[in-house]
Amino acid sequence: MTGAEIPLTPLISLIAGIAILIVPKLLNYIIAAYLILIGILGLI
């Protein structure tokens, strides 16, 4: 990859935090999606 990679974890965390503030019921889905994404990125 190039040297200009965007750090995904802080970006995902920021988006998830904003979404949780707007729609608290999304919390479970956001946590699940976050964990799955981190797992996939960890395996790559």
Q: Radius of gyration (Cα) for the chain, nearest Å?
A: 12
Domain boundaries, the chain: 8-43
Residue 13: what pLDDT?
77
User: In this predicted model, what pLDDT tens digit does every residue of 1-44 receive, in sequence order?
Assistant: 455 566 777 777 788 778 778 877 777 887 888 888 888 878 87
Residue 2: what pLDDT?
54
Residue 14: what pLDDT?
80
Q: Report the phi/psi class of residue 20: left, alpha or beta, with left for phi > 0 and alpha for psi in -120 to 50.
A: alpha
Give the integer Cα–Cα distance in Å for 43 and 23: 30
pTM score > 0.75 for this model? no
DSSP string of 1-44? --S----HHHHHHHHHHHHHHH-GGGHHHHHHHHHHHHHHHHH-
Give the integer Cα–Cα distance in Å for 2 and 4: 5
